[in-house]
Structure 1
């Protein structure tokens, strides 16, 4: 099966600190991760992409390091919480990509874009530039969290004119209710389609 033309996956924040049982923030996502079986579906997605030469663009959050937010007059509450929790600490295990979701830069053409400061992986990063260089127009979104960074990135893509597919079982949020509200009520307002991972793979069989 040939991959659909001009298509890439955008995978948001698949850090150990979000996904691994020992991650600093995983406990807060645990119910939602379990309800979606999100880790299994994320691994299925990455495995499929690598088997079919569909590039994955990794949108990763800024990492805590010495000087993080130093001199800032207007940090957000989430940025201050990240600093306090030392979440996604540069060079630490928690800021590594979860097992089975790692990029294959050489073999598959995956791209790790510059890191986002707030919610959108487009704002203050090179994601749009990197996609444009490869003439990518169709974006498939997965990752964390459903109603913050993943949704914010997809909404930005919507404003830029990309064709958007959201994968509702390859994500999680701080509560099951918040995740369900995003996937069932909000995403259909801007996405071209909202599918499961298996549903998206099945939709490619006609290509």
Structure 2
């Protein structure tokens, strides 16, 4: 990564209460992996490091379920049907609040981009446009989940020409095996760097 942070941004994917909080609708699916990696602690460390170094954080958030969600769709995915049936990430609910301690700060230059419908926070959103308006070239990514939305977003960033850094301890999976497969086997195939929050933050101090 470039030694300057002026062209760097952090991207955090889906830090919703429904995923991260013990009372969230989908937390039970992630709880084991979140605990094993201590993911929330490391996500908070990621946010803190970004704040100290004046690195903006871009929030890639999943579309929220509401009346009429995917109504009339002919090609909705199984994930979209499940979200609709279970009212996961329900618009206006506590579950779609950003987990406490991870909230955006406009004074830090943080940006909440338009919401993604499937997995990638680039597809059908303004994330790429928002980044290029600010000459961002290096992306440091964390969030949920390791082998779905986070990986999809990182792959898309790679294809668009961004320098991609992925953080193995700032994520989780629906199973430990899925998370480990992503972070140990798949991410190194395309990411420019696969590291931890602590090692990334330490590199900023050099």
Task: Tell me the TM-score range normalised by the shorter chain.
Answer: over 0.9
Unpaired runs of 5+ residues, structure 1, are none
Residues 11, 59 of structure 1: 8 Å contact kept: yes
Residues 9, 141 of structure 1: 8 Å contact kept: yes
Corresponding residue number in structure 2 for 1:164: 164
For residues 108-158 of structure 1, the C-alpha deviation after alignment (integer angstroms, 9 at most, x for no partner) is 010000000000000000000000000000000000000000000000000
Residues 57, 109 of structure 2: 8 Å contact kept: yes
Residues 143, 170 of structure 1: 8 Å contact kept: yes
Residues 3, 53 of structure 1: 8 Å contact kept: no
Corresponding residue number in structure 1 for 2:111: 111
Secondary structure at the counterpart of residue 32 of structure 1: helix
Report the Cα distance in structure 2 between the residues aligned to 1:191 and 1:60, rounded to whole angstroms: 21
The Cα of 1:3 is off from its aligned counterpart by 5.9
Report the Cα distance in structure 2 between the residues aligned to 1:55 and 1:5, rounded to whole angstroms: 9
Corresponding residue number in structure 2 for 1:94: 95
Root mean square deviation of aligned Cα? 1.0
**1:1-12 counterparts in 2 under 5 A?**
4-12=5-13
Corresponding residue number in structure 2 for 1:22: 23
Corresponding residue number in structure 2 for 1:71: 72
User: Do residues 49 (structure 1) and 47 (structure 2) align?
Assistant: no
Corresponding residue number in structure 1 for 2:151: 151
Corresponding residue number in structure 1 for 2:120: 120
Secondary structure at the counterpart of residue 9 of structure 2: strand
Report the Cα distance in structure 2 between the residues aligned to 1:94 and 1:3, rounded to whole angstroms: 36
TM-score, normalisation: structure 1: 0.97
Secondary structure at the counterpart of residue 182 of structure 2: helix
Unpaired runs of 5+ residues, structure 2, are none
The Cα of 1:51 is off from its aligned counterpart by 2.2
Residues 114, 127 of structure 2: 8 Å contact kept: yes
Report the Cα distance in structure 2 between the residues aligned to 1:63 and 1:83, rounded to whole angstroms: 9
For residues 1-48 of structure 1, the C-alpha deviation after alignment (integer angstroms, 9 at most, x for no partner) is x96230000100000000000000001101100010000000111122
Going from structure 1 to structure 2, the CA distance change for 1:104 and 1:3 (only over 3 Å counts) comes to: farther
Q: How many residue pairs get matched? A: 204
Report the Cα distance in structure 2 between the residues aligned to 1:85 and 1:14, rounded to whole angstroms: 18
Secondary structure at the counterpart of residue 32 of structure 2: helix
